[in-house]
Amino acid sequence: MTKLDLAALLPQLVSIVQDAGELIVRNSTLPKDIRKKGGNDLVTETDVAVEEQLKHRLIELLPESKFLAEESSAQNTLGDLTWVIDPLDGTTNFAHGLPFVATSVALWGQGRPVLGVINLPLLREVFAASYGGGAWCNGEAIHVSTTSELSQALVATGFPYDIKTYLPEILNNLEKFLPRTRGVRRPGAAALDLAYVACGRYDGFWESALHPWDTAAGLLLVTEAGGRVSQYDAHEKYIPGDTGILATNGLLHETMSDLLCTEA
């Protein structure tokens, strides 16, 4: 990867993602053209339009870059100088008029995300991070929570689209965490969940069967905000696309990992 001025690129990326978010805002009150990609996995015309707008603008920003995008990529391969794009995370929420939707864009290079933006257009919040440059929400620096006791923690999770395959695991983990925490939330958009860990609203998050575009930007946000990300096993490095992700404020990481890795 050629040497990039990440500090200069980040505000340009934020502007590009915010502009695409306005398309989501405009379309949020219009009738939805909804189709299924499989099972309960939905796609709307807005998903496709936002992705196309992002790709057009991002290739202008970095002409030598490549794309790994949810609606147009045939495989989940992370390459050097690759934009990793989820145009509309939380499509089911969007289809039902819920505001918990996100656009997630990361720039992947040299084995890590180096830029990341998660825009919550209907909630008017933009989270941004650069490698080594910290994490921000609407221009204000953010940091993970300082909660150190699981009993005081608010945590989040998600449910894979292949619910039948993962139902035993989901129920097993809920049985572990519900009685041991202050609460478990499931908004239905992994990018939003990771942004909320980064800014301290959640103390931890776990989910299985996510794609690289779901987590690449959030991985950078959480780590730059002082948190920790791994596979369910705290000793296994997480690469977007791995089977399961655990993201926490760091203080709860080993505790949550132990629960996830232990049979009920």
Check whether 88 is labelled as a binding-site residue.
yes
- pLDDT of amino acid 1: 47
- pLDDT of amino acid 37: 62
pLDDT by position in tens, the chain (length 264): 457 899 999 999 999 999 999 999 999 988 777 776 655 566 789 999 999 999 999 999 999 999 999 888 767 788 899 999 999 999 999 999 999 999 999 999 999 999 999 999 999 999 999 999 999 999 999 999 999 999 999 999 999 988 999 999 999 999 999 999 999 999 999 999 999 999 999 999 999 999 999 999 999 999 999 999 999 999 999 999 999 999 999 999 999 999 999 976
Check whether 70 is labelled as a binding-site residue.
yes
Q: Cα separation of 45 and 124, whole Å?
A: 22
Check whether 89 is labelled as a binding-site residue.
yes
- pLDDT of amino acid 76: 73
Task: Say yes or no: domain 150-261 is CATH 3.40.50.300.
Answer: no
Measuring CA to CA, which residue among 198, 37, 194 is closest to residue 104? 194
229: DSSP letter: E
The answer to whether 206 and 190 are in contact (CB under 8 A) is no
Q: One-letter amino acid identity for 54? A: L
Q: Cα separation of 234 and 244, whole Å?
A: 11
Topology at the third CATH level for domain 6-141: Fructose-1,6-Bisphosphatase; Chain A, domain 1 (3.30.540)
Check whether 175 is labelled as a binding-site residue.
no
Q: Cα separation of 162 and 88, whole Å?
A: 19
From the number of C-beta atoms within 10 Å of its C-beta (0-12, 13-18, 19+), residue 130 rates as: buried
CATH 3.40.190.80 residue ranges of the chain are: 150-261
Q: What is the pTM of this model?
A: 0.95
Measuring CA to CA, which residue among 224, 237, 225, 233 is closest to residue 254? 233
CATH 3.30.540.10 residue ranges of the chain are: 6-141
Check whether 242 is labelled as a binding-site residue.
no
